[in-house]
Amino acid sequence: MVVVRLVLLLLLCGGCATSSATFPAAWDVIPLHPPKQYRAHWQKMEECSGLQRSFDAVRWYVAFGELKIYGKWAGALAWWSTDQIVVQAAFIDVDYILEHEILHLLVHQSGHPSPPFEKCSASYIL
């Protein structure tokens, strides 16, 4: 099953990470063309939070391996920045991980302000 998911993932992905990326260069990431269910998660989080942002302006990436910062595990299954979301390959279809990172991008800050995290995210405690 994992092999099938990775093959499907590779079919959805294309090219190499661009030099304009703001995540650490050491991360093994490739661009991800977001599956249609990502837009549904995005809309759900917009509705719940009352915040809006362009889904189409976000660049999505899939990471193979741990997300490390300064050589140490970042403690993250996914990561966000101004206009991008990076998700580890094993979690690309885990709803609460995606929605959690989408909320970060919509709120546009680190930490877990409540609202909207307590109200909207199943992974509020992460």
Q: In angstroms, how far apart are the furthest CA atoms of the chain?
A: 38
pLDDT, tens digit, for every residue of 83-98?
Answer: 888 888 888 898 988 8
HSE at residue 39, side-chain half, CA atoms within 13 A, is 8
Nearest in space to 41 (alpha carbons), one of 115, 103, 111, 124: 103
> Would you say residue 113 lies in a domain?
yes
The pLDDT tens digits of the residues spanning 8-24 come to 333 233 322 333 456 66
Examine residue 125 and state whether it is found in any structural domain, yes or no. Answer: no
CATH number of the CATH domain containing 37: 3.30.2010
Residue 8 lies in a domain: yes
* Structural domain contains residue 82: yes
Domain that holds residue 97: 2-120
Number of domains in the chain: 1
> Structure pTM?
0.72
- Please indicate, yes or no, if residue 126 is contained in any of the structural domains: no
